[in-house]
Amino acid sequence: MPEITAEHVSVSLPIFDAKSRSFRGHLSSLGRLSADDQAGRILHVRALQDVSFHLEHGDRLGLIGENGAGKSTLLRVLAGIYKPSSGRLHKRGRSVPLLDITLGLDEYSSGRDNIRLRGLFLGMDTAWLRAHEQSIIEFSELGEYIDMPVRTYSSGMKMRLAFSISMAVDADIILLDEVLGVGDSKFQKKARARLETLTERSGIVVMALHSSQAIMEMCNKALWLHKGCLRMMGGSHEVVRAYDDFMHGRDTHEHPA
């Protein structure tokens, strides 16, 4: 059974070209500058600090927080792209990160060839590619453009192709970063339904979405990050309400940091 356990995970990211005192002072005032680097030449910015949680089969976790709160960083830690500077992360089960869904598209290859390339990039085998190619093409609504080079596509067409491929994957753990802003309103409605199908067949899903409503509808749990720290975790409705109160100045009580 899939499982994720994060124990006091912290991540510090180096900034090698930050010579400005004002920039250094700004980071320090935000509380994001590592203590060991206050006077050093290389800055290490605390992107995450002391984050702990546990997820098991059936959990759908929504990540919320302001821009720069650490949502994408946490997803990258879960994907194995970033290693914790301290703390421990344990994962059990096959995970597929869908963090940049256009990553791996070859501009000079056709859409059809990109289905195969992207599928291989995501770890799918040739049997999977044969079984899913036609359904991916139909879902993307690219029609005859599927056999044209991707460089001739509009940005919306590229997103539709990438989304259609990504939503066909099979995994125990799915990691998603803002994947609902694709295509026009008609396609977005279809994309939302496909995303819900994907989450139903996966063991664990962790997703960062700007839509509080979508998190409440699709997730049973939510994790609120604030300046890299875990401010609150619990049922999605409870956490989203607390976050919305905070964002609208209605925060009337302290939440655990």
The 3-state DSSP composition of the chain as helix, strand, coil percent (nearest 5) reads 40, 25, 35
pLDDT for residue 184: 67
CA distances from 156 to 163, 176, 244 (A): 10, 19, 30
* For range 249-253, the mean pLDDT: 64
Report all structural domains of the chain as residue ranges with CATH numbers, in order of start.
3-94+210-247 (3.40.50.300)
Average of per-residue pLDDT values in the chain = 84
Rounded CA gap, 119 and 20, in Å?
44
Whole-number percent of the chain with pLDDT over 90: 48
- The better pLDDT of the pair 219, 23 is held by 219
DSSP at 179: -
pLDDT tens digits for range 134-171: 999 999 999 999 999 999 999 889 888 988 888 888 78
Distance CA 21, CA 23 (A): 5
Strand, coil or helix: 181: coil
Residue type, 82: Y
Helix (H) or strand (E) holding 91: strand 86-92
Give me the amino acid identity at 215: I
Q: With a cut of 90, say whether residue 187 has pLDDT above it.
A: no
119 φ/ψ sector (left φ>0, alpha ψ -120 to 50, else beta): alpha
Predicted pLDDT of residue 98: 79
The pTM assigned to this predicted structure is 0.79
Cα four-point dihedral sign 138, 199, 187, 97? negative
Residue 246 has pLDDT above 70, yes or no: yes
State both tokens at 8: 């006091």
Report residue 51: phi and psi, to 5°.
-100, 125
Bigger pLDDT: 28 vs 117: 117
pLDDT tens-place string over residues 1-48: 899 999 999 999 877 655 555 555 555 555 555 545 444 556 778 899
What CA–CA distance (Å, rounded) separates 130 from 160?
20
Q: What is the C-alpha separation between 7 and 244, in angstroms, rounded?
A: 27
Q: Is-contact 197 174, C-beta < 8 A?
A: no
Q: Point out the least confidently predicted range of 23-37, 124-138, 187-201, 241-255.
A: 23-37
